[in-house]
Chain A
């Protein structure tokens, strides 16, 4: 006869010490008293996972855990839950709500100072916190040369990735000869997991507008463009409102603040093409063409939008500018390292306890980001690597955790600062799989102009796929390395030149994982499905049938109360059995 319910009770020593045997006796006793002995089976298992809260039991098919159970409670549970079908809320184990805690330690807010504090749809809120005061000072008291000089002293470098000194970029545009000059804000933020710019555009749009006005004054431009990806509809709406209000208040348009300076801004939207974040591709897109990069030189400062001198910076760079002019270059330069000044926003994602968006002084160590800001690795697993710089960045292993986060240090490790994405990986992450993930991304986003990038990334992806599927060949690693070099040499733009970085950096620091995949046909992190097997430990299996019932392909056989077996030829390695097993009997090898 089949039982209608099962009660598993933990026989863990800690539970026994706290009276699990007495609880079990009380359970059995009460079940017989209520004539449920034939309907409900009681079994002792080695552990249920919360030994510190024992005695513990779990009732199936409901899958409800009870903790800190006394014999008295046990009798009550039998009567309420098993007889009357009313689970006992008071004794149920509940995942404690995580304390809502902000990762604010070590944060220094410059760019994000106003975000979350002001109403982005109300220009007066921005003005209340000294908004447009820097612009007013610039337009009424300073010459363009003085503005450039302040920026030079501040040490501000481009926040879009490459870290080119902002004052120098502006100086080139100022010195370039042209009837018309343009200012562009690059808001085509496309790296997976990175959303620093969206947050600034949505939360403090006027800071970016003000920075652009100052830039326009410094280089002598009268027209500017915001290029924002269409995937950010709320940022675009907020920006539209902000531009309208700035015009109404006379902060954009003709004769701003009676200074005689004219400047206006328009929004241009992307339409779903990652490569448009590259500056020359972006300008092609504004001009209404396919967004394909072109050769540099000429650089945009000399010949950019419609062949006119153009200055292009990203959202975060412009947002820093008003603060620098208001508080002084010395203040800005007091934060950061010798060559990398100020703060930087990072989107911290992956296997850390606290993910999210932070702003920290440059020069903070990776260890501080992972452990102090991120709160350490999720489930206290082992740290493996941090990926910086998005799809064109690299993976940095544990031995470099004490490296400061600045442009030069990251570059020396084969990665980049990029726009500020950071993905933290733990021991369960397969580095070959990660390299494949990023290669898939750039392969799809390659614009197709240069053969090394268009064809090379595809070939590299095929090799990586083969390795992950257990079809790797001796020589594959060397082939990946030489193809990487060819793509770096032959591609025109940053996307192509950076595409091999995730592969090269993982080969450099985790070569043994590639070798395990190729030569031993093993995935050490147990991620690549073709290289792992699932099996059930007969000593642990209690024959509860959950795995067999949940298997999507009926690969598991076995009768109730008997050991179950997985047929490897049918198994699709989805891992569901491991997830549902109440006693941890499923192993991955």
Chain B
């Protein structure tokens, strides 16, 4: 097993005092920091918390924001609920797919981007909206997409 994975799992778990009751928190942090939770990470965490691996995986798979499969460095979660759809969400979605060259659920070959959808984030008045990692963007138009994507790929990183 990869020593780096074990160390990362240990440090995140220690943040919550190796408390089994903070399992959802630990899993969410791991998912965020490692991009996704690998089989190795599940095994390491199960051992750390003295739980069956299946129980740890069972909890992880219940929550849609805990990733159990690899994804890109940045994750776009696009709101597909009705109000955003009506506000022109489809055109923006098409622009996203075109700009990234991938479809829903896919990751770009360079590992930079994953395209997902989210349930309503309650920003219907400024729809269409999307989350890029934890940053929220509203009043989207197809024209705004390249500019927003560039903020994450340029050397300076996120503004």
Instruction: Mark each residue of chain A from 287 to 307: 1 if its CB lies under 8 Å from any CB of chain B, else 0.
Output: 111111000000000000010
A-side contacts of B119, CB under 8 Å:
190, 192, 231, 272, 274
Instruction: Mark each residue of chain B from 29 to 72: 1 if its CB lies under 8 Å from any CB of chain A, else 0.
Output: 00000000000000000000000000000110011111000000
Stretch binding the partner chain, chosen from B1-9, B16-24, B106-114, B148-156: B16-24
Size of B's binding interface in residues, CB under 8 A: 30
A-side contacts of B83, CB under 8 Å:
192-193, 349-350
Q: Report the separation of the CA atoms of residues A198 and B82 in the bound assembly, to the nearest whole angstrom.
A: 20
Q: From the candidates B22, B23, B124, B136, name the one contacting A349 in the complex (CB within 8 A).
A: B124
Known: A192-B82, A193-B120, A198-B122. A288 touches B64 (CB 8 A): no
Q: Report the separation of the CA atoms of residues A273 and B81 in the bound assembly, to the nearest whole angstrom.
A: 16
| Additional A-B contact list (8), CB under 8 Å, known A191-B120, A193-B81, A306-B21 | A190-B119, A192-B82, A192-B119, A193-B82, A231-B119, A268-B25, A270-B63, A350-B83
Question: With an 8 A cutoff between CB atoms, is B14 at the interface?
Answer: no
The 6 listed contacts between A and B (C-beta, < 8 Å) are A192-B120, A233-B134, A272-B64, A272-B66, A287-B21, A288-B59
Instruction: Mark each residue of chain B from 103 to 141: 1 if its CB lies under 8 Å from any CB of chain A, else 0.
Output: 000000000000000111111110000010010100000
Question: With an 8 A cutoff between CB atoms, is A60 at the interface?
Answer: no
Q: How far is the CB of A464 from chain B (nearest CB, A)?
A: 16
Q: How far is the CB of A349 from chain B (nearest CB, A)?
A: 5
Contact indicator B25/A291 (Cβ below 8 Å): no
Q: From the candidates A193, A230, A292, name the one contacting B122 in the complex (CB within 8 A).
A: A193
Q: Report the separation of the CA atoms of residues A268 and B23 in the bound assembly, to the nearest whole angstrom.
A: 11
Known: A233-B134, A273-B62. A355 touches B124 (CB 8 A): yes
Contact indicator A288/B24 (Cβ below 8 Å): yes
Q: How far is the CB of B143 from chain A (nearest CB, A)?
A: 18
Question: With an 8 A cutoff between CB atoms, is A547 at the interface?
Answer: no
Size of A's binding interface in residues, CB under 8 A: 36
Residues of A244-282 contacting chain B, CB below 8 A:
268-274
Contact indicator A288/B66 (Cβ below 8 Å): no
With a 10 A CB-CB cut-off, give which of A234, A290, A437 has the most chain B CB atoms. Answer: A290
Contact indicator B28/A269 (Cβ below 8 Å): yes
Question: With an 8 A cutoff between CB atoms, is A515 at the interface?
Answer: no
Contact indicator A271/B124 (Cβ below 8 Å): no
Contact indicator A273/B23 (Cβ below 8 Å): no
A-side contacts of B123, CB under 8 Å:
195
Question: With an 8 A cutoff between CB atoms, is A144 at the interface?
Answer: no
Q: Report the separation of the CA atoms of residues A208 and B114 in the bound assembly, to the nearest whole angstrom.
A: 36
Contact indicator A272/B63 (Cβ below 8 Å): yes
Q: Report the separation of the CA atoms of residues A193 and B66 in the bound assembly, to the nearest whole angstrom.
A: 23
Instruction: Mark each residue of chain A from 171 to 193: 1 if its CB lies under 8 Å from any CB of chain B, else 0.
Output: 00000000000000000011111
A-side contacts of B120, CB under 8 Å:
190-194
Instruction: Mark each residue of chain A from 324 to 355: 1 if its CB lies under 8 Å from any CB of chain B, else 0.
Output: 00000000000000000000000101100001
Contact indicator B28/A192 (Cβ below 8 Å): no
Q: Report the separation of the CA atoms of residues A287 and B23 in the bound assembly, to the nearest whole angstrom.
A: 8
Contact indicator B25/A269 (Cβ below 8 Å): yes
B-side contacts of A191, CB under 8 Å:
120
With a 10 A CB-CB cut-off, give which of B21, B118, B124 has the most chain A CB atoms. Answer: B124
Question: With an 8 A cutoff between CB atoms, is A356 at the interface?
Answer: yes
B-side contacts of A274, CB under 8 Å:
119
B-side contacts of A192, CB under 8 Å:
81-83, 119-120
A-side contacts of B65, CB under 8 Å:
230-231, 270-272
Contact indicator A231/B118 (Cβ below 8 Å): yes
Q: How far is the CB of B68 from chain A (nearest CB, A)?
A: 12
Question: With an 8 A cutoff between CB atoms, is A285 at the interface?
Answer: yes
Contact indicator A288/B20 (Cβ below 8 Å): yes
Q: From the candidates B19, B81, B122, name the one contacting A189 in the complex (CB within 8 A).
A: B122
Question: With an 8 A cutoff between CB atoms, is B96 at the interface?
Answer: no
Question: With an 8 A cutoff between CB atoms, is B76 at the interface?
Answer: no
Q: From the candidates A193, A233, A286, A289, name the one contacting B124 in the complex (CB within 8 A).
A: A193
B-side contacts of A195, CB under 8 Å:
122-124
Q: How far is the CB of A59 from chain B (nearest CB, A)?
A: 24
Contact indicator B122/A271 (Cβ below 8 Å): no
Known: A269-B28, A271-B66. A290 touches B124 (CB 8 A): no
With a 10 A CB-CB cut-off, give which of A234, A272, A285, A292 has the most chain B CB atoms. Answer: A272
